[in-house]
Amino acid sequence: MATRPTLHSQLAALIKRPPVTVMPESTLRDAVQLMSAHRIGSIIVVEPESGRPIGIFTLRDLLHKVAAKSCDLDQMITSVMSDTGLQMLNWRTTIYQAALVMARHGIHHVIVVDAAGKLKGIVSQEDIYELQSGGGKAISGAIRGARDLEGLIAAAEDIRKLALRTLAEGGAAEPLTQMISTLNDHLTVRLIELTKQEFELPRVKWCWLAFGSEGRYEQTLSTDQDNGLVFAAPAAEAEAVRQAFLPFALEVNKRLDKLGFPLCKGNVMASNPQLCLSVEEWHGRFGSWLRSSTPQALLDATIYFDFRPIYGEEDLAGELTEWLRRNIPAATLFLRFMAENALRTQPPLGMIRDFNFDANKDFPRTIDLKAYGARIFVDVARILALANGIGATSTPERLRAAAEMGKVGRDDVGAIIDGFFFLQQLRLRVQQEGTPMGLANRVDPEKLNELDRFVLKEALKQAKKLQGRIQLDYRL
């Protein structure tokens, strides 16, 4: 039986049929008849010889460019097709990235091409929404149509309600966290669009970055902000450009707080001058971590290695990723220190009783599912990704890629990922109950039913097994 695509699947998985196309010399009548015969809402105009797309014609174009104006069905299709801002994505691009492109540009379709630029198919918003729980399409539309902060605040509350409803209906952790991350990204994109209209920003290339759980597509119901900004500027101009961006970044951070994403207590935010940097400055920052011999400094830095672009010129984030791929393999001491840090936290498995408990006096006899559970999977997956040039940022995708490379047993990786997502599901269940922040990731095993206690123990064993992998790799 075919596996159902997820948001991290390649766009090729959503192509359901060969694309229906017309040539540039075709008439509008030809195009409309083909659309009617195939019952489709759009058609691609391609070059005759290369097969490369040069435009798209949709039912919306038929309404606004034809029916409302000339109604001339014998005019050339090229006179009414849309060819500006045509969004073409490689078929290996993830479905998630396609959803983000649509949100950024306010479009309803992306054209999918192969490595040579030849048309392979078309993917619509509706294709992507079918992967998500009901309600995602309406919320995304509301976010796109929001004209002020109040509209976004209402949409943020709708996201939380949808997540809670999906969880109550038994929604699995992987698609649920993907859905939360997708809609939160849309929210952030629209907030940045609205906020930047109020500022005179430098005329340079720039990109808003997400770090931590947002960077890994693993946001739960209780999450603060982790973000930064990268821009392109010569060294002599970097400080002036930074000072021009900081008031804008601060306003975005404040407004995200109003949307329900608390300001980061560790100041991991774009309004922090140390995280609003030029490309070269980010190279220097990452380089200092790669050369660091202080375990605590590395521990503090791990959040930054889970970055991805949210808004702006994505190629700037791509430059940072490529720089890391080139420089990390030689940083053997850095990787060893990262591995040592990943082994410092041991799963709370008891030798005599089922579980051990930390020394937290406020919440005795509870387990921190994030610090002593999910974080272990995250840390080890990060090391495997960095050491092996894996570009994915999400924990399960990093583990799957590592298994494909033989760095994790293919027979083991399924159980390991299931263990990670059980912990995530349990965290979501705890947060669903509206527990105080201190308890947002904690669970009392005695209050779980017998089956959940058993699965929790097995999930923690998978974390232990994963630690054993890097312990062997780095001979620790």
Percent of the chain whose pLDDT exceeds 70: 93
Highest mean pLDDT among 71-80, 309-318, 375-384 belongs to: 375-384
Report which of 357, 348, 397, 355 is spatially closest to residue 376, judged by C-alpha positions: 348
Q: What pLDDT score was predicted for residue 319?
A: 94
Token pair in block for residue 271: 């309004």
Q: What pLDDT score was predicted for residue 252?
A: 98
Q: What pLDDT score was predicted for residue 79?
A: 86
> Where is pLDDT greater, at 174 or 284?
284
Distances (CA, A) of 75 to 22, 41, 86, 220, 446: 14, 19, 21, 52, 73
Beta bridge partner(s), residue 230: 207, 277
| pLDDT, tens digit (0-9, with 9 covering 90-100), for 15-34 | 878 889 999 999 999 999 99
Q: Could you tell me the pTM of the whole model?
A: 0.78
Q: Which domains does the chain have, with CATH numbers?
A: 11-129 (3.10.580.10), 136-327 (3.30.460.10), 332-473 (1.20.120)
Strand pairing category for 21-22 and 42-46: parallel
- Residues 233 and 279: their CA atoms lie apart, in Å, by 8
> Where is pLDDT greater, at 11 or 383?
383
Beta bridge partner(s), residue 312: 207
Report the chain's mean pLDDT, rounded to a whole number. Answer: 88
